[in-house]
Structure 1
Amino acid sequence: MSDRHVTTDDSWVPDACTLPTAEQPLRLAEFDQFFRDAVRGADRLSAQHLRLHLDAAQQVEETARDLTARESSCCSFFAFDVARPDPDSLTLDVRVPAAHVVVLDALAERASSARVQR
């Protein structure tokens, strides 16, 4: 069994995702928009750990918390942590178990591609 499948627009969605298929393109679009609007940089701290540096606006933090909470409810293998190390910094750490590294790879690629498009 694969950890991802390809949809008609060549997007990835993990097989473990319980989000209804009809809603998956909408969620992907939400993540893509979030990445374009909010991500300022990214560090791959390990194969299983991605850190996104975000715009520090309060609304960005609220959006990050909402989006990651909804994603956690359908893809429980994701571990998200939104942190504000200081008033001018906001980060989103994304961790996955070893079995889902390819999903994190795809997420990192989408974040990178969206930042370039901005």
Structure 2
Amino acid sequence: MTQNVALDLGWAPSACTLPTAEQPLRVAEFDALFADAVQAVQHPEQTRLRLELVFSPENAARAAELAARENGCCSFFTFTLTVAEGSLALEVAVPAEHVEVLDALAERAGAAASA
């Protein structure tokens, strides 16, 4: 994420190794996933976020692919995609020192889900 985008979103990109030019595109990809697929946002722990997604093979593939690419540049994220009994969820966990990143992600996903 770019410095300005990061500040606007409350994200902490200092640990991100994604090239600066690609960072706004990644933010847009997350925004699109949130707008298209997020049904509910839960923040069960300070360091863990759960996004309930619209169940479909396309959303599962999209979330998995985005999570894998994001983990490649921000290795502090732990993503867990769960497909079970007709439901789809993406869990995101971070170490305590990156809670502000997770909080910003939760806020962004929640805004998209309620729009």
What is the aligned-residue identity percentage?
Answer: 51
Amino acid at match of 1:33: A
Normalization by structure 1: what TM-score?
0.89
1:89 correspondence with 2:87: yes
Please list every run of 5 or more consecutive structure 1 residues that lacks an aligned counterpart in the other structure. Answer: none
Amino acid at match of 2:29: E
Higher helix share: 2
Report how far residue 7 of structure 1 moved. Answer: 3.0
Report how far residue 99 of structure 1 moved. Answer: 0.5
In the superposition, relative to structure 1, how do residues 65 and 27 fare at CA in structure 2: closer, same or farther (>3 Å)?
same
1:53 correspondence with 2:44: no
Residue pair 1:77, 1:96 contacting (<8 A) in 2 also:
yes
Give the aligned CA root-mean-square deviation in angstroms.
1.8
Following TM superposition, the consecutive aligned residue runs of length 4 or more in structure 1 with deviations greater than 4 angstroms are none
In structure 1, how many angstroms separate the alpha carbons of the residues matched to 2:47 and 2:7?
26
Normalization by structure 2: what TM-score?
0.91
Partner of 2:105: 107
Q: How many residues align?
A: 113
**1:15-30 paired onto structure 2 within 5 Å:** 15-30=14-29
Residue pair 2:79, 2:93 contacting (<8 A) in 1 also:
yes
